[in-house]
Chains A and B, each alone.
Chain A
Amino acid sequence: MNGYEALITIAGLTAITVVTRSFFLISERELRLPGWVQRGLRYAPLAAIAAVVVPEIVMTQGHLIATWRDARLFAVLAATGYYIWRRGLLGTIVTGMLVLVPLKLALGW
């Protein structure tokens, strides 16, 4: 991909960011969602984030990992444990990384 094509691609990605983030803010018309859609909206944001996160945890190169010797699994377990215990986001991230980095550096998981 040459520089010119890359520029157009990046311009397109920027447009996609603007349009997706403000999608339902664009039209002035009153937005009438059917009841089931409104109830469904309770689950959609959560589902969308989970759909981005979970593959990052249990997949490598597009395949489900086949080993338990993966630093990510232990990091997520520790982070989840901390979240259940204390609820703080900072602690959750720090706990996860404190488990992840040593496992990666020392054991190469």
Chain B
Amino acid sequence: MAGVTLGISAWGLVTGVAMVKSGLSVPLALLMTLAAFSGSAQLAAVPLMAVGAPMWVIWATALCVNLRFVIFSAQWRPFFMRFPLCRRLALGYFAADLIYVLFMKRFKEPRDDAGQLEYFLGGTTVNWLAWQLPSVLGIVLADVVPTHWGLGFAGVIALLGLTYSLLSDRTTAVAAIVAGAAAVAAFALPFRLNIVVAIAAAVCVGLMIDGGGDAVRRLLDALQRDSGRSRLPGAASRAAAA
């Protein structure tokens, strides 16, 4: 945990600096980091605000950048559904990338007695501080902090390390490579929709390999069998399922 927080902190510092350097006033930048609490979405939103993009464009972009959290939230469900709605929203708000990866590696299934909530709260507190304190520092000291050092890249390497720790076999590795390549190839799409494209592509490839790696052959087999048989309704779908 200590390791990744270092990367998170460097990233927070540079995000703070970047927000002010892009023309956001210090009070607004402070408000944004303390309220929005989402580094990648902030970094995507600030340049758009600087050029006066319409609000809905900024929100649509932030939505795409934050899409990964929607996916994470499905996996938080078994752990958090026992709490009332307000508590769930609060827990969700603090459930950023780092705590998601660490928590899911540590706890495979929900248990009442395992100190899971404590682990979550401790982890999010460290993560929150490691992000917010340097962010505030960066906002206040925006003119002093050197940006040409490339310190912000520590955040990218931290996320890269988290990505590596999620790789469990060859299929997940292929899915990650496909996602990365698709995100680059589709980068020209508006609103960071390239992230949506990347997730879709990686899930498709993952499912294809999951199905035995011979999805195309099975599809052709199913079609051949189907054409040789009388055309009963639903035969194609049954053959495909078989």
**Residues of A bordering B, CB below 8 Å:** 1, 3, 5-14, 16-18, 20-26, 28, 31, 33, 36, 39-59, 62, 64, 71-72, 75-76, 79-80, 83, 87-94, 96-97, 100-101, 104-105
Complex Cα–Cα for A3 and B205 (A):
45
Residue B134 at the A interface, CB < 8 A? no
**11 CB-based A-B contacts, threshold 8 Å:** A13-B32, A14-B36, A16-B62, A17-B41, A17-B93, A21-B93, A26-B89, A47-B175, A47-B176, A50-B183, A97-B153
A90 close to B181 (CB less than 8 A): no
Decide if B157 is an interface residue (CB 8 Å cutoff). yes
Q: Which of A43, A87, A100 has the most CB of B within 10 A?
A: A43
Among A23, A36, A83, A104, point to the contact of B149 (Cβ < 8 A).
A104
- In which size bucket is the chain B interface? 35 or more
Q: Given contacts A13-B36, A47-B202, are A55 and B187 in contact (CB under 8 A)? A: yes
B residues near A (Cβ < 8 Å) are 2-4, 6-7, 10, 24-25, 28, 31-32, 35-38, 40-42, 45, 49-50, 52, 55, 58-59, 62-63, 65-77, 80-81, 85, 88-89, 91-97, 100, 148-151, 153-154, 156-167, 171-172, 175-184, 187-188, 194-195, 198-199, 201-203, 205-207, 210
Q: Quick check: B157 and A79 within 8 Å, CB to CB?
A: yes
Report whether A22 and B49 are in contact in the complex, using a CB–CB cutoff of 8 Å. Answer: no
Contact A55 B188 (CB under 8 A): no
Q: Is the CB of A58 within 8 A of B184?
A: yes
Within the complex, the shortest CB–CB distance from A107 to chain B, in Å, comes to: 12
Q: Are A51's CB and B153's CB within 8 A?
A: no
Q: Which residue of B31, B74, B158 contacts A33 across the interface (Cβ within 8 Å)? A: B74
Q: Does A25 contact B150, Cβ atoms closer than 8 Å?
A: no
Query: In the complex, how many angstroms separate the beta carbon of B88 from the nearest chain A beta carbon?
Result: 4
B176 adjacent to A101 (CB under 8 Å): no
